[in-house]
Amino acid sequence: MVEFFSEYGLFLAKSVTIVIAIIAVVAGIAVVSSRSRKDGHQGEIEVTHFNDELLDMKEALEDAILDKETLKAMQKEEKKKEKEEKKARKNNPPKEDEPRRKRIYVLDFDGDVKASEVEPFRQEVSAVLMMAEPQDEVVIRLESPGGMVHEYGLASSQIERIKRKEIPLTICVDRVAASGGYMMACLADKLIAAPFAIVGSIGVIAQLPNFHKLLKKNDIDFEVLTAGEYKRTLTVFGENTDKGREKFKEELEETHELFKSFVHEYRDVVDIDKVATGEIWFGKQALDVNLVDELMTSDQYLMDASDESDIFEVRYEQKKTLQDKISDMAADSSDKVLTKWWGRLTRQNIINR
């Protein structure tokens, strides 16, 4: 046991030293890079043709599964079909007023508490709106457990831009779209969820610790000076009052009412008083109370649509600065070091036992 604690202490000391060294290097690089950083968007739009990806996967499976004779016959048949289609297009060129093939633009939103994805998301929406037409469709694969009201309000506003252009909008939820995530999802013309996806949680929550009693016990004063009766209702270090709590609760209720009104505006088929209790609903349950329109994964929806549409996945990729690249390298290095030493420590502990 003594050897275990000795080894554990050595492990901690080395780990802390390495982490401090990495932080120092990264901080130094951050200072240098911040001086030379230019204003403006440092990123670019990347587009992937979903139909081609499906075709590549199909061909890879055919190469692995089918025998050479069968594969050769299939390839011969496909070439013959392509030749016939090319000849048909040449003999019957499309008319100017003939509608083109539908395009589906696919965007991803993976939300956290601060809705950090809203920055690349707004760029993706802008790019799509420059090309999309009412005959097309936008599909958003949405994943979010919710978070800050104002951040998710901005994210929802980006989706509203699509609706104002009158472009059909489908939102797919494979795992979770709760609280602020559902605020975004309810904007869809068609809302699809996987059978066990979590949706709903139409409620508002706020929580904070209070250290006033601890400070008072140690004779530490903390003063909060405000101008305006309700500038600060609850505080972490000051003494909270019943009046402050009542006002804070009142503000939460007002926010909840706004949330309920927003959902009801875009999904008037729901019984808002029944579903706006803060509860979560799994896919099948959500369908029963009209929180979603259909049960299906995003993969199935896009595969089904690929026969009649050209599907393009659109993503805004932020260009990594030198600081970002070195930060990633530092994080990877520290993870590897910690994993190595933890494995060594664990093996040593097993041997000692």
323-334 pLDDT per residue, tens: 666 666 665 665
* H-assigned helices in 46-205: 50-65, 68-91, 118-129, 149-164, 180-185
Q: Which residues are catalytic?
A: 179, 231
The residues, any chain, with a CB within 8 Å of residue 315's CB and separated by 6 or more, are 45, 46, 47, 48, 107, 108, 120, 124
Cβ atoms 107, 162 nearer than 8 A: no
- What does pTM read for this prediction? 0.74
Residue 229: per-residue pLDDT: 83
CB-based contacts of 4, cutoff 8 Å, min separation 6: 348, 349, 352
**pLDDT of 217-236, one tens digit each?**
888 888 888 888 888 888 88
171: β partners: 140, 191
For residue 36, pLDDT beyond 50:
no
Write out pLDDT tens, residues 238-277. 888 888 889 989 999 999 999 999 999 999 999 999 999 9
Q: 122-136, 152-166, 213-227, 260-274 — which is least confidently predicted?
A: 213-227
Q: Is 67 left (phi over 0), alpha (psi -120 to 50) or beta?
A: beta
User: Residue 38 — pLDDT band, cuts 50, 70, 90?
Assistant: very low
For the chain, domain boundaries: 2-37+321-352, 45-61+100-201+279-318, 204-265
Does the domain at 45-61+100-201+279-318 match CATH 3.40.50.720? Answer given as no
- State yes or no: pLDDT of 172 exceeds 90: yes
Identify the residue with better confidence: 34 or 191.
191
Per-residue pLDDT, averaged over 105-118, amounts to 95
